[in-house]
A and B are shown apart, each in its own frame.
Chain A
Amino acid sequence: MTRVAKILLYAVLVTGVVITVFPFFWMFVLATLSRREIFAYPPNLWFGSYLTENYENLMNFVPFLRNMWNSLYIAAMATVTTLFFCSLGAYGFAMYDFKGKEFLFAFMIGTIMIPPILGTIPWFIMMRFFGWVDQARALWVPGMASAFGIFLLRQYIESAIPRALQDAARIDGCSEIRIYWQVVLPLVGPGLGALGMVTFIGSWNNFLGALIILRSRVTYTIPVALSSLQGMISTDYGAVMIGTALGTLPILIAFLMASNQIISGLTAGALKE
């Protein structure tokens, strides 16, 4: 009985994995096929020899390396600034008791529930007012201090750092900001890692915001560049697919290397509620 159950269990799980992984596999296959091979029937399920041609075509349509750089730059800036402001705020909430703390914290958590679409139009108008349309900073400056990030890191700091450590540092003459920088930060590495990866991935994949703000091919990020390719007459799907593969690969590799950390980082907010 358990034997049958076990086989059945694995059959279901493995089928699920095949369905989940197939689009990724096929994406890499399609990136090596010619346009004719992509639209052939039955579909080609194994790698072809058009990789370099597709790559050259892609580069003719859009400055894709530049687009990748833009994505990387925005994601890196978003990550570094988010980590700084969120760890600072989290440190304040985790290690101090102060007047109004409960209210301020509840207020901050409340802002997580606001759907982003509510602010999208005025955000665009603001960015236009600042002269930030078509500029990378429009995509990382507004999100620098995220409530989710503070919430996540607060949990982490509270569980990882005893207040006695803070007191000890004070007795040694440490100022409060130095305690943050030299005592707290070095001890919350894993927490920062999880939030960093979550932020990076979110920024790397951001579409709607980038679509609204970025207007020229040299400022496009990967998702916008890919969607612009799709709009072209006689879309070259081989070129599109090498683009999707190149855009997905870095994140995929990072995820496979640190999947446990990323998953726990992403679900930590849910668990503690």
Chain B
Amino acid sequence: MSQPQASANPSPQPRQNRIAYQYDKWQRKLAPYMFISPFYLFFAIFGLFPIIFSLYLSFHRWDAIGPMVFVGLENYSFLVTDDWFWMSLRNTVVIGLMTGVPQHVLGLVLAYMINSKLVKFPNFFRTSYFMPYITSTVALTLVFSIIFGTRYGALNYLLEPLQNVGGFQWLLTQLNLEYPIEWLGRAHTIRPSLAMLMTWRWVGWNMVLYLAGLQAIPGDLYEAAKVDGASNFQLFAKISVPLLRPMMLFAFTMTIIGQMQTFDEPMILLGTGGGVNQAGMTTVLYLYRTSFEWMDFGTGAAMSYLLFLIIIAFSLLNFKLFRRGERD
């Protein structure tokens, strides 16, 4: 009874094993593609498609309601001759430089201080300086709108005692200001005010980056230099800074990309108008206004592409300058 059965199906076990083995091999091969595919799927829909559509849109006139009208390069030629576009770009760059430079200088110096063995509680300082970065820009910008108040703000209150100092008055006259300073009410104080706020927000971020970079530098390098009689400043300038170059490149690039897209702060402090003489009108604020207030999506899309190209150009320039510095 059992004999013929066995001969009809001589070896069920190995065959099943083979199938299982094949399946196993196949699923093992396919598995990684399955795991990473969601990213590419989502990127295709929500990343790549919008970018291509944006390019398409930039050659059209469209108010998002009526039909799309093909206009060729009209949006681009309008923008490159548009005073407001260039002004917004200049504002963005000026604000970016005004805050970018102190952000990195302070960030680096603070990181070096906290990293030095003299300072206790490095984590306390790190956490404190980092706090502005994690909180909502909108919320803290609203607080700054009161700090910057002309007749009630904390900043002018802080400066009040300086009024009796001779040099302060001289400085104010030189800067074409008078006390109490209208931080957000005058065209030439709007950009510095925005820069101060953004510096306050971003110093901690840069400091943390530099601190992480400093902690990665092996301590015996410093020891060896000290044995050779190097001063503290020399340690900083000849060891820390050169070894931080990769981190600096990264941090600078992040600052460039971030600053070129400044929106939240001027929007909250000044509204879509950008303040007196549009002094605080950044490119993204102008882009927002063009697209979502004036419903001119074609021009908005063209502007986003021009801004993208400018960001790439600045990033490459930054990269080139770094490379050249490395060779010297």
Q: Does B308 contact A (CB under 8 A)?
A: yes
B135 x A142 contact (CB < 8 A): no
Option from A24, A26, A88, A237 in Cβ contact (under 8 Å) with B131: A24
Option from B31, B106, B129, B139 in Cβ contact (under 8 Å) with A17: B129
Q: Does A176 contact B (CB under 8 A)?
A: yes
Residues of B within 8 A of A38 (CB): 146, 152
Min C-beta distance of B21 to chain A, whole Å: 12
Residues of A within 8 A of B51 (CB): 114, 118-119, 122
B120-162: CB near A (< 8 Å → 1, else 0) gives: 0001011111111011111110111111010111100100000
Residues of B within 8 A of A59 (CB): none
Q: Does A259 contact B (CB under 8 A)?
A: yes
Within 8 A of A (CB), among B300-323: 300-301, 304-305, 307-308, 311
Give the nearest-CB partner of B125 in chain A.
A13
B113 x A270 contact (CB < 8 A): no
Question: Known interface pairs A10-B119, A176-B31, A255-B134. Does A142 touch B42 (Cβ–Cβ under 8 Å)?
Answer: yes
Residues of B within 8 A of A207 (CB): 136-138, 263-264, 267
B21-63: CB near A (< 8 Å → 1, else 0) gives: 0000001110111111011111101110111011001000000
Q: Does B230 contact A (CB under 8 A)?
A: no
Interface of B is mostly: helix
Q: Does A39 contact B (CB under 8 A)?
A: yes
Option from B110, B127, B157, B263 in Cβ contact (under 8 Å) with A208: B263
Q: Give the number of residue pairs across the A-B interface with Cβ within 8 Å.
A: 273
Q: Does B94 contact A (CB under 8 A)?
A: no
A125 x B212 contact (CB < 8 A): no
B308 x A118 contact (CB < 8 A): yes
CA distance A56 to B141 in the complex (A): 23
Stretch with Cβ within 8 A of B (4 or more), from A60-68, A185-193, A245-253 = A245-253
Residues of chain B at interface, number, CB under 8 A: 94
Give the nearest-CB partner of A142 in chain B.
B46
Within 8 A of B (CB), among A207-255: 207-208, 211-212, 222-223, 226-227, 230-231, 237, 240-241, 243-244, 247-248, 251-252, 255
Residues of A within 8 A of B251 (CB): 270
Q: Does B216 contact A (CB under 8 A)?
A: yes
B38 x A263 contact (CB < 8 A): no
A145 x B42 contact (CB < 8 A): yes
Within 8 A of B (CB), among A113-139: 113-126, 128
CA distance A248 to B153 in the complex (A): 21
Question: Known interface pairs A13-B113, A119-B51, A123-B50. Does A204 touch B136 (Cβ–Cβ under 8 Å)?
Answer: yes
Give the nearest-CB partner of B251 in chain A.
A270
Q: Does B239 contact A (CB under 8 A)?
A: no
Question: Known interface pairs A85-B38, A98-B32. Does A20 touch B209 (Cβ–Cβ under 8 Å)?
Answer: no
Residues of B within 8 A of A9 (CB): 113, 116, 118-119
Q: Does B288 contact A (CB under 8 A)?
A: yes
Option from A10, A259, A267 in Cβ contact (under 8 Å) with B209: A267
Give the nearest-CB partner of B126 in chain A.
A263
Residues of B within 8 A of A113 (CB): 257
Give the nearest-CB partner of A17 in chain B.
B128
Residues of B within 8 A of A204 (CB): 136
Residues of B within 8 A of A243 (CB): 139
B123 x A145 contact (CB < 8 A): no
Within 8 A of A (CB), among B161-220: 200, 203-204, 208-209, 212-213, 216
Option from B134, B153, B267 in Cβ contact (under 8 Å) with A227: B267
A43 x B130 contact (CB < 8 A): no
Residues of B within 8 A of A237 (CB): 146
B113 x A20 contact (CB < 8 A): no
Question: Known interface pairs A212-B292, A222-B136. Does A244 touch B304 (Cβ–Cβ under 8 Å)?
Answer: no
Min C-beta distance of B20 to chain A, whole Å: 10
Residues of B within 8 A of A176 (CB): 27-28, 31
CA distance A208 to B146 in the complex (A): 22
User: Which residues of A line the B interface, CB within 8 A?
Assistant: 2, 5-6, 9-10, 12-13, 16-17, 19-24, 26-27, 30, 38-43, 45, 85, 88-89, 91-93, 95-96, 98, 101, 104, 108, 111, 113-126, 128, 141-145, 147, 150, 170, 175-177, 180, 201, 204-205, 207-208, 211-212, 222-223, 226-227, 230-231, 237, 240-241, 243-244, 247-248, 251-252, 255-256, 259-260, 262-263, 266-267, 270-271, 273
Name 6 extra pairs, CB < 8 A, besides A24-B131, A121-B301.
A13-B113, A26-B146, A98-B29, A104-B36, A141-B46, A205-B138
The 10 closest A-B pairs by CB, nearest first: A92-B35, A96-B32, A122-B50, A176-B31, A119-B50, A142-B46, A244-B139, A223-B138, A92-B36, A145-B39
